[in-house]
């Protein structure tokens, strides 16, 4: 959520920043208007409250001096003031709710350093490990959904029978590879990040805290009977883990990581390639998350990006890092870097990590602050997140990249400690 003081003091600057995202800015004018109304009504209500308190003292004094008639007249006046105060207080609540609803639908302001552009075409390639399609043999140019079927490690048909389209089922060594990738993503970050296993069903307020509600309700699974939501990423749970709490500055940065299953309806996927693991409703992901002081934000952002990229590099996958254009950044982010791997069988780049700095946008929604020693009051923390490992697409890239001419799949050396002795997935005999 944006700071109302920022919108109030310079609405044109806020509209200009949001226009870089390609978002409509008319709500900013409405926010300014309702904020002004709220402050005016609140001031009037508070003045009446002060008058009521003063009148009550006068009534008591008149009674003490035996002036009952004057006391009664003043008490009648106080009661009429009370009716006005209640009406104004109700109006304040209505305006505050309207203001909050509008603010919840406004995205974060993109960083001045984020590239201009309204679509992914504006993304800037920061670095590339070196893609040369000519280095891939014909045996590697087979899509993972075909390889998975041949090796009996990916069973899409039975998953669809169980749950419908865009669900998949891993079997045998395919499930083993998935489990190894999860362990790999967690273990390599254990030196600095506390492991958490949060709930995957959360309240509406939890989804609001991370910015996934109300704007992205259509892309989430909602269990209406219990008013719970299936998380689209553990960022949701980790954001609100400390909702309403105040850190001491020496506790920051606080680094967390979590493996969860994640669920997305992919409401906008119609007409897009949904074969194999390219786009699925349920997937496993290891997430890195951090709370920090504002001045720590850049360094923590680069740390999470480096950890996410090194995980892909150590797996030996061709990859690139993109600096996302303003229009391609998620609603909560101010600056985002994506890591993509190249899948030779699908012949396309696949996003496997999105590393975002959200400034105090999520912290304002979830009310998470910190206190500095020797400083009065508290400040909102900054939050950052990034996928340590988005399992399905990394799985797909490994299966395609490491496929051998005989149809087997060599396992990347970095995964060997997590595979229980498995170094190659062999074709069924």
Q: What's residue 62's pLDDT?
A: 66
Percentage of the residues of the chain whose pLDDT score is greater than 90? 88
pLDDT the model gives residue 305: 98
pLDDT of residue 58: 78
How many CB atoms are closer than 10 A to CB 429? 3
How would residue 272 be classed by pLDDT, with cut points 50, 70 and 90?
A: low
pTM of structure: 0.93
pLDDT at residue 136 is higher than 60: yes
Residue 109's pLDDT is what? 98
Q: Are strands 228-230 and 194-196 parallel, antiparallel or unpaired?
A: unpaired
pLDDT above 80 for 5:
yes
Q: What is the mean pLDDT of residues 247-269?
A: 93
Report the pLDDT averaged over residues 76-88.
83
- Once rounded to an integer, what is the mean pLDDT over residues 194-221? 96
Check residue 268 and give its pLDDT: 62
Handedness of CA 215, 221, 227, 233 (dihedral sign): negative
Q: Is the pLDDT of residue 320 over 80?
A: yes
- Nearest Cα to Cα of residue 330 among 292, 358, 306, 301: 358
Q: Is 222's pLDDT higher than 60?
A: yes
Sheet holding 369-371, edge to edge: 246-248, 369-371, 379-380
What was the pLDDT predicted at 412?
Answer: 98
Mean pLDDT of 240-254: 97
User: Is residue 271 over pLDDT 60?
Assistant: no
pLDDT mean over 213-237: 96
CB 239 within 8 A of CB 364: no
* Phi–psi pair at 364, nearest 5 degrees: -65, -40
Which of the two residues, 272 and 343, has the higher pLDDT score?
Answer: 343
Nearest residue to 394 (alpha-carbon basis) of 338, 328, 333, 311: 311
Instruction: Give the residue among 154, 160, 200, 191 at the shortest CA–CA distance from 173.
Output: 154
Which band of pLDDT confidence, cut at 50, 70 and 90, is reported for residue 339? very high
Q: Are 60 and 74 contacting, i.e. CB atoms less than 8 angstroms apart?
A: no
The domain limits of the chain are 4-104, 120-425
> Between residues 29 and 80, which one has the greater pLDDT?
29
d(CA 113, CA 297): 14
CATH class entry, domain 4-104: mainly alpha
Closest CA to 203 of 232, 237, 244: 237
Largest Cα span, the chain: 107
53 band by pLDDT with thresholds 50, 70 and 90: confident
As a whole-number percent, the residues of the chain with pLDDT over 70 amount to 97
Under 8 Å between Cβ of 263 and 231: yes
Instruction: Determine the Cα–Cα distance for residues 135 and 130; give it in Å rounded to an integer.
Output: 11
Average pLDDT of every residue of the chain: 95
d(CA 220, CA 230): 7
pLDDT tens, position by position, 12-43: 999 999 999 999 999 999 999 999 999 999 99
Q: 353 pLDDT exceeds 90?
A: yes
What pLDDT was estimated at residue 422?
A: 97
Domain 120-425 = CATH 3.30.930.10: yes
Q: In this model, does residue 270 exceed pLDDT 60?
A: no
Task: Please report the sign of the dihedral spanned by the C-alpha atoms of residue 139, residue 144, residue 150, residue 151.
Answer: positive
Angular region, 305: left φ>0, alpha ψ -120 to 50, beta rest: alpha
Residue of 65 and 4 predicted with greater confidence = 4
pLDDT tier for residue 321 given thresholds of 50, 70 and 90: very high
């Amino acid at each position: 959520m944006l700071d109302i003081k920022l919108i109030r003091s310079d609405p044109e600057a806020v509209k200009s920043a949001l226009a870089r995202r390609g978002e409509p800015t008319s709500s900013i004018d409405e926010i300014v208007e309702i904020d002004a109304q709220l402050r005016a009504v609140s001031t009037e209500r508070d003045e009446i409250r002060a008058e009521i308190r003063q009148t009550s003292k006068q009534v008591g004094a008149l009674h003490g001096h035996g002036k009952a008639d004057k006391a009664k007249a003043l008490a009648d006046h106080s009661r009429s003031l009370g009716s006005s105060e209640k009406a104004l207080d109700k109006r304040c609540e209505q305006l505050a709710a309207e203001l909050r609803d509008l603010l919840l639908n406004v995205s974060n302001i993109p960083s001045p350093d984020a590239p201009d552009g309204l679509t992914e075409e504006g993304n800037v390639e920061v670095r590339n490990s070196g893609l040369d399609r000519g280095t891939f043999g014909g045996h590697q140019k087979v899509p993972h959904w075909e390889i998975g079927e041949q090796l009996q490690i990916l069973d899409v048909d039975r998953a669809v029978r169980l749950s419908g389209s865009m669900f998949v089922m891993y079997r045998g060594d395919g499930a083993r590879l998935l489990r190894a990738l999860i362990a790999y993503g967690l273990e390599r970050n254990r030196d600095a990040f506390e492991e958490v296993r949060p709930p995957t069903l959360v309240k509406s307020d939890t989804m609001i805290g991370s910015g996934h509600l109300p704007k992205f309700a259509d892309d989430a699974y909602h269990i209406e009977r219990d008013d719970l939501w299936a998380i689209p990423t553990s960022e949701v749970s980790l954001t609100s883990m400390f909702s309403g709490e105040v850190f001491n500055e020496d506790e920051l940065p606080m680094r967390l990581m979590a493996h969860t299953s994640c669920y997305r309806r992919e409401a906008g996927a119609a007409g897009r390639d949904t074969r194999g693991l390219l786009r699925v409703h349920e997937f496993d992901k290891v997430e890195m998350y951090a709370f920090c002081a504002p001045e720590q934000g850049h360094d923590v952002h680069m740390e999470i990006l480096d950890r996410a990229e090194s995980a892909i590099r150590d797996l030996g996958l061709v990859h690139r890092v993109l600096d996302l254009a303003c229009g391609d950044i998620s609603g909560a982010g101010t600056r985002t870097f994506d890591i993509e791997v190249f899948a030779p069988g699908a012949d396309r780049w696949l996003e496997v990590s999105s590393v975002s700095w959200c400034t105090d946008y999520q912290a304002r929604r979830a009310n998470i602050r910190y206190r500095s020693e020797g400083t009065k009051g508290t400040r909102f923390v900054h939050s950052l997140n990034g996928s340590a490992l988005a399992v399905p697409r990394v799985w797909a890239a490994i299966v395609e990249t490491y496929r051998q001419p005989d149809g087997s799949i060599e396992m990347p050396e970095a995964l060997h400690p997590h595979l229980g002795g498995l170094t190659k997935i062999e074709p069924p005999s």
